[in-house]
Amino acid sequence: MTAQIEIDRVTKRYGALTVLENLSLSVKANEFMVFLGPSGCGKSTLLRMIAGLESVDEGTIAINGTRIDTLPPGQRDIAMVFQSYALYPHMTVADNMAFGLRNIGIGEDVIATRIAEAARMLEIGHLLERKPSQLSGGQRQRVAIGRAIVKEPKAFLFDEPLSNLDAALRVRTRVELAQLRNRVRSTMIFVTHDQIEAMTLADRVVVMNNRRIEQIGTPMEIYDRPATRFVAAFVGSPAMNFLPVTLGGSGGAAVATLPDGAVLPTAIRTTPALSGALELGIRAEAVRPARDGVAPVTSGKIEVLERLGDRTLLYTRLADGSLVVAEDAGASRAAIGDTVPLAIDGSRAHLFEADGQAHHAEGAGHG
């Protein structure tokens, strides 16, 4: 059985400090949802409230229509995987995985079957008699996940489970988690500040900032159509380029004048809201050196080159001093100090009001 989780107008305070305010969201049954945001935004606190490790000051949390925020953690039928693994050092892997089941009186035959199945899924069968001190960080994390799997809960909660791993192991464990998600059909909530983890694992992403939700959407909805300037800046590597602009055009698509005087037609419909202080947002892949007869919009002097193998990022300085990151081919011949003409795809531009509200081109996909 899996869980649909409903969080309704939840608030959390520590004394005078409010860390979550009037927050609502729905997690679908069997969904892999990722809470993404910077440190201190409240994402781990929200996860711990679902688990019962933090109290709810206002609002309710329900699973499959039954309120759980008043229940102790052990009665919520939820399994949590912690950042610290939280394994008992004096117990073997098998005993660590069995411990919670023995505590609630599950028979040894059932325990043995569940451990064998979890060990098979996670490829840790050869580790069952080892102690945690004999395991690598990645192996310990798999054991912690296995301990959650054997409980056969309605939902799994992951609190930054990859943050203690080195870079190469993080990538491998992320792939393993994606594969595990296909084998274990259950509701999963995963907390991270790492956008790559969010983009590669999530069915939907909840972007959180400053006690509230900025946007909920699929990874590509978040990337292509960020609801706010914060989301646009937080999701994507490199970060989106932002330039203050003035707008022309009326009754149709907005035409933006960049700080250096260059003019960029966009595919964003002009509205009364598009007035006052505005910023144009454009991702690096929509800014490229102008070649093959493509007319440049502006030009910039290369200050930094970032060679990433499949692509090269050009950090260019426009005539007015604005910095714009452009993308070139992996085998780019660009050099620091070069002045390059820049073609900008205005159909993929975004406009942001002073309060951060976003405006995009109509239709799906980029823009």
In tens, the pLDDT along 46-96 reads 999 999 999 999 999 999 999 999 999 988 989 888 877 788 889 999 999
Quote the pTM value: 0.88
pLDDT score at 362 = 77
CA distances from 96 to 101, 133, 146, 225, 317 (A): 10, 13, 9, 44, 56
**340 in Cβ contact with 289 (< 8 Å):** yes
- How far is Cα 350 from Cα 347, in angstroms, rounded to an integer? 9
- For residue 352, what is the domain's CATH number? 2.40.50.140
- How far is Cα 196 from Cα 199, in angstroms, rounded to an integer? 5
pLDDT score at 163 = 75
Tell me the pairing of strands 17-27 and 350-352: unpaired
Are residues 174 and 157 both part of a single domain?
Answer: yes
Q: Which of 233, 253, 281 is where one domain is finished?
A: 233
Question: What does the block give as tokens for 39?
Answer: 């440190």
In-domain check, residue 303: yes
| pLDDT over 70 percentage in the chain | 97
User: Residue 244 belongs to what H/E stretch?
Assistant: strand 241-248
Are residues 33 and 127 both part of a single domain?
Answer: yes
pLDDT score at 228 = 96
Are residues 289 and 198 both part of a single domain?
Answer: no
Question: For residue 171, what pLDDT band results from cuts at 50, 70 and 90?
Answer: confident
pLDDT score at 8 = 97
Residue 365 has pLDDT above 50, yes or no: no
The better pLDDT of the pair 170, 145 is held by: 145
Q: What is the pLDDT of residues 344-359, one digit of tens each?
A: 999 999 999 999 999 9
Are residues 220 and 308 both part of a single domain?
Answer: no
Q: Which residues contact 349 (CB under 8 A, 6 or more apart)?
A: 256, 264, 266, 267, 268, 280, 281, 282, 286, 361, 367
Overall number of domains in the chain: 2
Question: For residue 279, what pLDDT band results from cuts at 50, 70 and 90?
Answer: very high
Question: For residue 183, what pLDDT band results from cuts at 50, 70 and 90?
Answer: confident
Residue 176 has pLDDT above 80, yes or no: no
Mean pLDDT across the chain:
89
pLDDT score at 249 = 64
Q: Which of 84-98, 241-255, 298-312, 351-365 has the highest mean pLDDT?
A: 298-312
Residue 1 has pLDDT above 70, yes or no: no
- How far is Cα 214 from Cα 230, in angstroms, rounded to an integer? 8
Q: Which of 171, 200, 233 is where one domain is finished?
A: 233
At 270, is the secondary structure helix, strand, or coil?
A: coil
Are residues 151 and 46 both part of a single domain?
Answer: yes
Q: Is it true that the peptide bond before 244 is cis, omega within 30 degrees of 0?
A: no
Q: Which of 206, 233, 260 is where one domain is finished?
A: 233
At 91, is the secondary structure helix, strand, or coil?
A: coil
Q: Which structural domain, as residue segments, surrounds residue 10?
A: 5-233
